[in-house]
């Protein structure tokens, strides 16, 4: 009897039980009600006061539990993100997973020379073109933070470079309200106006509160502008356990969640139902080197706990993967504790993402997939290599790498004994030499250039405040 039998076998993973989720949530609400958060933004303070919060000295706000839970309910459980051409690219909902690039790496390994140097605007373009080619990459980010352009224009120029070198959704940062407004204006020019951009957003802005338990003027300004424009915003704290957050993982998760949910409350009070991606990242501070550690097991544990919490809330969440503390190309994406990048690491990560997606997809179990008739046909001592089933299904059932070595030792040595990193570097060079991203229409390109010229005048004397 197989009542309730499901033919698809899909791996599942969770770290928190339902009781543990409720305990973290209860503790989070207690922090927000009794400790509160600092909101250094007059309009944000007034919004919270009008909603029923207690505002104390120095901008400390105590937020009642009922208000947090009301804002959780008002936040959308599904966000559809499009590509530059208006086609659906990602549906952020449920357990769906999408992989893409990060932002703002100060240093880049040069593909041609191997030199570690300051990042340039060309590195933003190269990252976008590389990711545009790779099917496993769902969205792009600047990767590099260009040091060869004006500081006030680096985020505008990075966004423009991504627009021009990929059709994929863009995950981006901004220095402040002024350049964020210009970036949104550029995106609207591509979409055909603000209404069209609101209907089919192809960008996600990344901003952060300040740990512990603070929301800066600049962060709230950007949060509110995204809410007003209905641009998806990823507003998630980046906490350092043992420094800007508690040393215990349970304490760090609780405080980080309080930061995230108080930011969500500000956002939803500003514009109920506006799209927001939440969650948190909690890495650790190495007590010997005083560095922020990306490649630590604690980071994976807290991201997993975050996923369980935000699946419970029904809110799309963000996390990191493929990050490393290594300072050279070592089979990870973000290198050097989030300071170094190279297109070769994007190629590497695409291969690893393909591997992970195959695991996530699982496999089917049922009469057609067990294939009893084929098993009978081949029988004891037979060979399944020549069967029609093998011919038709081997590409679906068996993952095939593009870069990873599957040669035996002799064949690998005859091919030059190349490492995974060397092969990835060669592939990245090939992509950049041959792949031509789809260009923007001429009239849109002209509009973007005009906005860029205006940005140079507007941002000339502005100093961004975090």
Over residues 175-185, mean pLDDT: 97
pLDDT digits (tens, 9 = 90+) for 46-74: 999 999 999 999 999 999 999 999 999 99
Say if strands 340-341 and 281-285 run parallel, antiparallel, or are unpaired.
Answer: unpaired
Q: Return d(Cα 344, Cα 346) in angstroms, integer.
A: 5
In the structure encoding, which two tokens stand for residue 380, read together? Answer: 């004891």
Residue 465: per-residue pLDDT:
53
In the structure encoding, which two tokens stand for residue 16, read together? Answer: 């928190």
Domain ranges of the chain: 18-69, 76-357
In the structure encoding, which two tokens stand for residue 201, read together? Answer: 């957003």
Over residues 264-283, mean pLDDT: 96
Lowest-pLDDT range of 32-41, 151-160, 212-221, 234-243: 234-243
CATH homologous superfamily of 76-357:
Trimethylamine methyltransferase-like (3.20.20.480)
- Given a cut of 60, whether residue 464 has pLDDT beyond it is yes
**Burial 139-157, CB ≥16 within 10 A → b, else e:** bbbbbbbbbebeebbbbbb
Select the more confidently predicted residue: 345 or 312: 312
CA atoms within 13 A on the CB side of 135: 4
In the structure encoding, which two tokens stand for residue 370, read together? Answer: 């067990």
- Given a cut of 80, whether residue 1 has pLDDT beyond it is no
DSSP secondary structure letters along 123-188:
HHHHHHHHHHH-TT--BEE--B--SSS-GGGHHHHHHHHHHHH--S-EEE--SSHHHHHHHHHHHH
CA distances from 346 to 106, 140, 398 (A): 16, 10, 23
Q: What is the pTM of this model?
A: 0.89
CA distances from 75 to 49, 150, 390 (A): 20, 37, 47
pLDDT digits (tens, 9 = 90+) for 286-320: 878 787 877 777 888 889 899 999 999 999 999 88
pLDDT digits (tens, 9 = 90+) for 80-127: 999 999 999 999 999 899 999 999 999 999 998 989 999 999 999 999
Contacts 24+ apart (CB under 8 A), 244-250: 244/211, 244/212, 245/211, 245/212, 245/282, 249/282, 249/298, 249/301, 249/302, 249/305, 250/24
Residue 462: per-residue pLDDT:
83
């Amino acid at each position: 009897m197989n009542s309730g039998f499901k033919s698809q076998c899909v791996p599942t993973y969770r770290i928190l039980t339902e009781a543990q989720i409720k305990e973290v949530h209860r503790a989070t609400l207690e922090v927000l009600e009794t400790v509160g958060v600092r909101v250094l933004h007059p309009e944000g303070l007034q919004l919270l006061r009008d909603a029923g919060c207690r505002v104390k000295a120095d901008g400390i706000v105590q937020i009642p539990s009922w208000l947090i839970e009301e804002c959780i309910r008002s936040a959308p459980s599904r966000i559809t993100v499009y590509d530059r051409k208006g086609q659906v690219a990602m549906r952020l909902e449920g357990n769906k997973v999408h992989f893409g690039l990060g932002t703002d790496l100060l240093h880049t390994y040069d593909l041609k020379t191997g030199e570690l140097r300051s990042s340039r605007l060309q590195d933003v373009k190269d990252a976008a073109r590389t990711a545009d080619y790779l099917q496993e990459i769902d969205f792009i980010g600047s990767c590099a933070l260009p040091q060869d352009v004006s500081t006030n224009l680096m985020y505008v120029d990075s966004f423009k470079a991504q627009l021009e070198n990929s059709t994929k959704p863009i995950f981006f940062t901004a220095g402040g309200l002024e350049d964020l407004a210009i970036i949104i204006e550029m995106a609207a020019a591509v979409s055909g106006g603000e209404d069209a951009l609101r209907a089919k957003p192809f960008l996600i802005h990344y901003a952060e509160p300040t740990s512990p338990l603070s929301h800066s003027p600049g962060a709230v300004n950007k949060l509110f502008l995204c809410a007003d424009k209905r641009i998806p915003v990823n507003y998630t704290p980046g906490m350092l356990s043992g420094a800007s957050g508690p040393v215990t993982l349970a304490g760090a998760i609780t405080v980080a969640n309080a930061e995230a949910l108080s930011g969500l409350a500000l956002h939803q009070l500003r514009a109920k139902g506006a799209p927001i991606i939440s969650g948190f990242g909690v890495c650790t501070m190495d007590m010997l080197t005083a560095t922020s550690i990306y490649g630590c097991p604690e980071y994976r544990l807290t991201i997993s706990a975050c996923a369980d919490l935000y699946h419970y809330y029904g809110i799309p969440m963000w996390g990191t993967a493929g990050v490393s503390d290594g300072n050279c190309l070592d089979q990870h994406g973000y290198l050097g504790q989030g300071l170094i990048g190279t297109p070769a690491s994007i190629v590497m990560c695409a291969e690893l993402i393909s591997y992970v997606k195959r695991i996530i997809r699982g496999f089917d179990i049922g009469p057609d997939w067990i294939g009893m008739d084929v098993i009978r046909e081949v029988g004891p001592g037979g060979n399944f290599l020549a069967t029609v089933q093998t011919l038709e299904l081997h590409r679906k059932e068996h993952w095939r790498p593009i870069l990873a070595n599957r040669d035996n030792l002799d064949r690998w040595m005859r091919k030059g004994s190349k490492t995974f990193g060397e092969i990835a570097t060669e592939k990245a060079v090939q992509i950049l030499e041959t792949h031509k991203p789809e260009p923007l229409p001429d009239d849109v390109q002209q509009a973007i250039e005009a906005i860029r010229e205006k940005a140079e005048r507007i941002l000339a004397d502005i100093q961004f405040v975090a």
